[in-house]
Copies of this chain bind each other. A is one copy, B any other.
Amino acid sequence: MTRLPTVSDVATAAGVSRQTVSNVLNAPDVVRPETRERVLAAVSELGYRPHASARRLRTQQSSTIGIRLDPMTDGISGVVLDRFLHALTAQADALGLRVMLFTAAGPEEEIAQFRRLSDGADVDAFVLTSTFEGDPRTEWLIEHGQRFVTFGRPWGVDDMEDPQHLWVDVDGRAGLRAATRHLLDEGLRRIAYVGWPSPSGTGDDRHAGWRETMREAGLDDDELDALEARTPEGVPHGAEALRAVEAATGGAVEGVVCSSDSLALGALLAARGRYPVIGYDNTPVAASIGMSSVDQPLEQVATGVLELLTGAHGGRVRHDGEPVGDPRHRLLEPRLVPRELQVAPA
């Protein structure tokens, strides 16, 4: 496995700073012509390819993708990332790519792992999950010319169209819209929301899907404020949050949508079968007790991540020759899985 040239290699070869290399690649006008030419000569000589050029991983031998695996939890919704890892590994294997795991207790440790794994040339590209606003990991990877794709949007407004940050995500807002709409269509009106505290990219996005659908159905902000509860992840929190909403609304709740199956299971236990509860992530727990839930298309997420990583998206055009979608970002639609409840609280 040969190490791929990095921004640092180009900088050393051209006798300039990494920032200057970055400027040549991203904002060439700010660099003096002779410096620019020296840098471009080094780029050419070393065969360096910036991330956005979508160099095809699969043309290399033994290409390896690094991905963080968190310590095990007994959580319910945590299995989503495991399911994504299964899909990614199977699809990567079929492309001749390998998946290497590492752990990290936080963003700074994860960056230390990026450094170690890329310096050792053990890993050619990274897949990141659980992105958040101001994520220092993607900043580091861009600055160091490392190829990566995130499962999750950057969540910072300015970065959404960053051509150096390739991402695949699932449209959680659309998922909560579908769940809320499903209950409204059953003639229910006072639909509560139990979700994670703000700020949370994913949580706020799902919350917005519920809130805007409810507003379209004619509920006003005061009613909506009483119907929502924001609480940390976990079954007991879900139960507690729903009880708080019931207290705040005088027991007028007619249905609940949630930002996770963990919270939904807690809400379901608190609801005691009096009204429907819809979860998010379509976990085995939801399937096994017959709880409706929003399903993320994890096979498609894995396909998208690998296509962006290998540059396989490059040539996709419509029959009229127009490119299909944005080749740097992919926002996938989730799907509501409606079910009949198989159990009731004891």
Q: Out of B76, B98, B99, B346, name the residue touching A284 (CB < 8 Å).
A: B76
Known pairs A288-B265, A343-B269, A343-B343; A79 contacts B76 (CB<8 A): no
* A123: nearest chain-B partner, CB-CB: B98
CB neighbours (8 Å) of A103 from chain B are: 89-90, 93
Known pairs A62-B120, A69-B85, A235-B288; A98 contacts B90 (CB<8 A): no
CA gap between A62 and B288 in the complex, in Å: 42
CA gap between A85 and B70 in the complex, in Å: 10
Query: Any chain B CB within 8 A of the CB of A102?
Result: yes
Chain B min CB distance to A216 (Å): 32
* A interface SS class: mixed
CB neighbours (8 Å) of A69 from chain B are: 85-86, 89-90, 99
Contact between chains at B284 and A72 (CB < 8 Å): no
Q: Out of B71, B288, B298, name the residue touching A72 (CB < 8 Å).
A: B298
Q: Out of B70, B89, B262, B285, name the residue touching A101 (CB < 8 Å).
A: B89
CB neighbours (8 Å) of A71 from chain B are: 86-87, 90
CB neighbours (8 Å) of A79 from chain B are: 79, 82, 284
CB neighbours (8 Å) of A342 from chain B are: 269, 345-346
Query: Any chain B CB within 8 A of the CB of A13?
Result: no
* A69: nearest chain-B partner, CB-CB: B89
Chain B min CB distance to A135 (Å): 21
Interface size counted on chain A using CB atoms at 8 A: 45
Chain B min CB distance to A169 (Å): 19
Taking CB atoms and an 8 Å cut-off, the chain A residues in 235-283 that contact chain B are 235, 262, 265, 269, 273, 283
CA gap between A99 and B62 in the complex, in Å: 15
CA gap between A70 and B86 in the complex, in Å: 7
Query: Any chain B CB within 8 A of the CB of A233?
Result: no
Query: Any chain B CB within 8 A of the CB of A341?
Result: yes
Query: Any chain B CB within 8 A of the CB of A83?
Result: yes
CA gap between A79 and B79 in the complex, in Å: 8
Query: Any chain B CB within 8 A of the CB of A46?
Result: no
Query: Any chain B CB within 8 A of the CB of A74?
Result: yes
Contact between chains at B72 and A287 (CB < 8 Å): no
CB neighbours (8 Å) of A62 from chain B are: 120, 122
> Which A residues contact B (CB, under 8 angstroms)?
62, 64, 69-72, 74-76, 79, 82-83, 85-87, 89-90, 93, 98-103, 120, 122, 235, 262, 265, 269, 273, 283-285, 287-290, 298, 341-346
Could you list some 23 contacts between A and B, CB below 8 A? A62-B120, A64-B100, A72-B82, A72-B83, A72-B86, A74-B284, A74-B287, A75-B284, A76-B288, A85-B101, A89-B101, A89-B102, A93-B102, A98-B100, A98-B122, A269-B342, A269-B343, A273-B346, A283-B284, A284-B285, A289-B343, A341-B346, A343-B346
